Every structure is written in C-alpha cells, then in structure tokens.
C-alpha cells in the first residue's frame, strides 16, 4: 500500500481525495488535516506516510513552510505540492521548499494517481474518462447498487469529473461524462439516454440551471441532480427554483451517500413519470 497524508484547507478537496483513495486499489489515506501546523505536528510525533500532499495556500503556516518542516521530520517521504496556480514562481518556491512534485488542482484523475506513485511501490492507476464516452458498469468491491442505472456526469473540473465517474463505476453504475453544457446537450440530442444526470451548478459555458431545462426537454425522464462546491447553498431552494430533482454539495457526502441519493432521485422521477 502507498500511504497518503493530506493538508488542504478545502473540505471539498480533502473529502474528494479521501473518497478517491478509498476506492483506488493500492492506496490508503492515513491522515487528513486542514492546516499545515497540524500535519507537521503529526509527522513530528511519529506519523508516517509515503506521500504528503500539501496545499500551497494553507492558513497560518504556509504551504512552503509546511513542506520545509515535513522534509525535516519525514526526509524519506515524497512531498507533492497541490495548487490552483500554474505560475512559475509558485512552482519554483515549492521545489525550493523540498517538494518532489507539483500538481495542479485542475489535473485529471490519471495525473493525480501518477503523481502519487512512489518508486519501488506499485499501485493500480485507473484509466482517465474521455468526455462523452460511456463505459460499461463494473464493481471491484462487490457493491452493485448502481447496476442497471446509467448516470451522466457533467463537470468542467477534470479531477472532479474523473473521480466521480470512477467512484460511481465502483458501485456498478454505467457512466458517461461530459466536460461542458454544450457537450452534454449534444450527447442527449444524439439519442443517448441516462437515468440520472449529475450536473455541476457552475459550468464554464453555462449554468447548471440552464442545463436542467435542456435535460427536461431532451430527456424528460432523467433525474437531474445539481452538484456544487458551495456547501452553504440552500439545496432545497436551488432544486425548487431550477426544477432539479436534488442537490449535492461537493465534498459533503461519502460515495455511499451519493449512491443512495442518486438511486432515490431516479426512483422518484420514475414514479412521477408513471403517474
């Protein structure tokens, strides 16, 4: 197993990585922190990980200071800087602080798993999802609650889209993925069908609310669940105002809770269609 420890002040990122690692064979999340001070204290007190994933913009103790301290307390570990910034200055400061690698938060799932790899240890990395390509259902852990259901995942964030697709596949859903509202409309207009669509509320080319209306026109029996990084959103209000069948705050659920939510939304939409 490759043991991973994370420091990131975003609960969405921490929970997303936790769920990814839970369902990726060969990886184990051993610790997760919202600031640099706590992960450094953990390592100083004997906490051990093969890879430390450190947000460049941590509150209090900065990302570079955190990496400097971790290099002292865990000299053999791999340190991966995780950042939303691609600026050269940010990359240079991370490497100077002791980082072994630098990964953008817009990375794909394959890029993330490659960055987490440790020389001398092997772990199976999942293949990336191509936008609009539908993959057959599979379930490595025997949980097949999604069997017989097709879900369309629409998100312009590569890592979120790939990870969500992979986690749903682990529960035997058949998954298709699109990286924009336009590609989702085209996919539906081509005659493809899905039982549920998990739609990012803030897509790059249009709002999730606009795509809800398009889904109602192109695939009226599809349950549409909006997906947002804003955990403080009033989900019931957003669903009511957009006509969606539900709302999930990114990072505010486990994969098992998402499965239950999607299956429930699908059954409610089917019941409404029958009536």
Q: Do 134-274 and 2-116 fall under one CATH topology?
A: yes
Rounded Cα–Cα distance for residues 275 and 269 (Å): 10
pLDDT in tens, the chain (275 residues): 899 999 999 888 888 888 888 878 889 999 999 999 999 999 999 999 999 999 999 999 999 999 999 999 999 999 999 998 888 999 999 999 999 999 998 899 899 999 998 876 655 544 444 445 454 444 555 778 889 999 999 999 898 899 899 889 989 999 999 999 999 999 999 999 999 999 998 888 888 889 999 999 999 999 999 998 766 677 788 888 888 999 998 877 888 899 999 999 999 998 876 66
- Domain ranges, ordered by start, for the chain: 2-116, 134-274
Fold of 134-274: Rossmann fold (3.40.50)
| CB burial string 257-273: b at 16+ within 10 A, e below | ebbebbbebbeebeeee
Whole-angstrom distance, CA of residue 245 vs CA of residue 56: 37
Question: How far is 189 from 218, CA to CA, in rounded Å?
Answer: 7
Fold of 2-116: Rossmann fold (3.40.50)
- Is residue 21 within 8 A of residue 29, CB to CB? The reply is yes
The two beta strands, 134-135 and 196-200, are unpaired
pLDDT at 98: 93
What is the rounded CA–CA span in Å between residue 267 and residue 270?
5
For position 136, what pLDDT does the model report?
46
Residue with tokens 């809800």: 212
- Give the other-Cβ count within 10 Å of 197's Cβ: 31
Which 8-state DSSP code applies to residue 202? B
pLDDT for res 24: 80
Structure tokens at 57: 């913009």
């Amino acid at each position: 197993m490759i043991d991973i420890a994370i420091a990131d002040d975003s609960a969405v990122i921490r929970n997303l990585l936790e769920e990814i690692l839970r369902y990726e064979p060969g990886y184990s999340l051993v610790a997760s922190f919202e600031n640099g001070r706590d992960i450094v204290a953990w390592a100083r007190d004997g906490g051990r990980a093969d890879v430390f994933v450190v947000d460049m913009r941590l509150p209090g103790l900065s990302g570079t200071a955190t990496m400097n301290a971790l290099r002292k307390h865990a000299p053999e570990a791999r340190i991966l800087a995780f950042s939303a910034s691609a600026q050269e200055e940010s990359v240079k400061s991370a490497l100077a602080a002791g980082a072994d690698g630098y990964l953008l938060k817009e990375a794909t799932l394959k890029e993330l798993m490659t960055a987490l790899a440790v020389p001398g240890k092997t772990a199976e990395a999942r293949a990336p999802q191509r936008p609009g390509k539908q993959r057959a259902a599979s379930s490595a852990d025997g949980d097949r609650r999604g069997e017989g259901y097709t879900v369309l995942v629409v998100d312009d964030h590569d890592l979120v889209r790939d990870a969500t697709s992979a986690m749903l596949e682990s529960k035997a859903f058949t998954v298709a993925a699109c990286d924009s509202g336009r590609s989702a409309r085209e996919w539906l207009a081509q005659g493809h069908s899905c039982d549920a669509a998990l739609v990012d509320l803030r897509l790059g080319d249009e709002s999730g609310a606009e795509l809800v209306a398009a889904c109602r026109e192109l695939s009226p029996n599809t349950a549409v669940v909006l997906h947002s990084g804003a955990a403080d959103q009033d989900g019931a209000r957003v669903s009511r105002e957009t006509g969606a069948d539900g709302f999930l705050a990114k990072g505010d659920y486990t994969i098992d809770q998402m499965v239950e939510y999607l299956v429930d939304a699908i059954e409610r939409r089917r019941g409404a269609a029958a009536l």
